[in-house]
Chain A
Amino acid sequence: MLLIITGKSDGTIDALVDHLDYPFFRLNLDDFLQYSFVFSNEDWSITNPVGLTITSKTATSCFWWKAFMYQVNSDKYVNDELKIIAETIYSWFVTRGKVKGNPPYLESSWGKFRQADIASKYLDVPTQKVGWGSDFLESFEEGIEWVAKSLSGTLINSEKALFTTEVNPAELDSKFPWYIQKKIVSDVDITILAMGTTLYAFEKSRSDLSGIDWRQEQFRSQTRWNPIALTDSESSAILAFLSEMGIQWGRMDFLRQGDTLQFLELNPNGQWVFLDPQNEHGLLSAVAAYLKASS
């Protein structure tokens, strides 16, 4: 039985469960009081309000999906205790090699620049730097277009976000930390979901973007993501990159520039349902099959 550790209002898991044709158990961490939960060093069991149960004897694999993204509990003590409990049960699967997908906080342990460094062995990666101070901001070559991005994605003034924005480094305030990348001019966004050694690639035209970051306009845009075939060399390069990163699951973002894929980043727990929300291209079915592999 597959254990999914997530949140009660998670739409990705809502969409996914319709395609799971094998036993699974959904633990909504932010709804913990609805479950009975017993965990010891010998065994464990979790039962939901209608009597569905998963135990250390029936569990075969675990998929962590954004359980910490939801406010687990308003009481900080309870919140922090539950998070460690969730990590404890996840670790039970990790030590047995029964995890599908990636653990939380994986990217934090990598850093964007380790990604970029490894990716550059196999893929085209735009120049990028992070820093502050006048020396840093004066280090950017003139005549090249640059964009500023956010590493954390944290909201500014509680309501605004720094999306990818074209900047002139000389005009930036040196007292702030900046993540700056060479601007890639492209007509097409490419995003690829990796599952094992299979890559599911989609593209989206940038023709209707008013800015340069599709996420800023994602709910207004009528442009859809369409599946595409990668070339053999593109697939080989991406799989080599993933192999060196040591992961089998994740979503990568690229920009198509002529015949070249420009690597932007790997999101080990990135969203993917938006690529095919109705399973018209079989993405939900493919994820369900991938998660089943060791069930």
Chain B
Amino acid sequence: MSKKLTPADLAAKPDFFEPVFAEFDYLDQKNLATSPLMTGMGTPTFNGTQTFDFNGRPSDSDQDNDRSS
């Protein structure tokens, strides 16, 4: 009998971009970056729904993950 598949067998590495930590401007109340996108859309990533943060939690959520298909 062939080995049954586990979640680890089906898992894939998510896209990931290195974070860019910029200086925070408390007057404008935003990060000073060469591009505002470089500070990410919810986490320090570029252009999209970052899938996971540094602690392994889904970043598209506060206990609120989303998946397509």
B-contacting residues of A (Cβ < 8 Å)?
A: 8-15, 17-18, 24-26, 28, 31, 34, 48-50, 52, 64, 66-71, 104-108, 147-165, 167, 171-174, 176, 183-184, 186, 189, 211-220, 251, 253, 255, 264-265, 267-271, 273-274, 277
Contact = CB atoms under 8 A, between A and B. Distances in A.
Given A14-B30, A14-B36, A154-B57, A267 B66 contact: yes
Contacts of B55: 71
A248 to B, nearest CB: 16
Contacts of B11: 156-157, 160-163
A157 B8 contact: yes
A213 B64 contact: no
10 contacts: A9-B21, A11-B37, A11-B38, A11-B44, A64-B62, A68-B62, A155-B56, A161-B12, A164-B68, A219-B45
B64 A270 contact: yes
Question: What is the size category of the interface that chain B forms with chain A?
Answer: 35 or more
A274 B49 contact: yes
Nearest to B3: A173
B64 to A, nearest CB: 4
Contacts, number: 231
A266 B13 CA distance: 24
Contact of B41 (A12, A108, A212): A12
Interface string B17-28: 101011010111
Nearest to B17: A219
A161 B69 contact: no
B7 A69 contact: no
A153 B65 contact: yes
Contacts of B58: 152-154
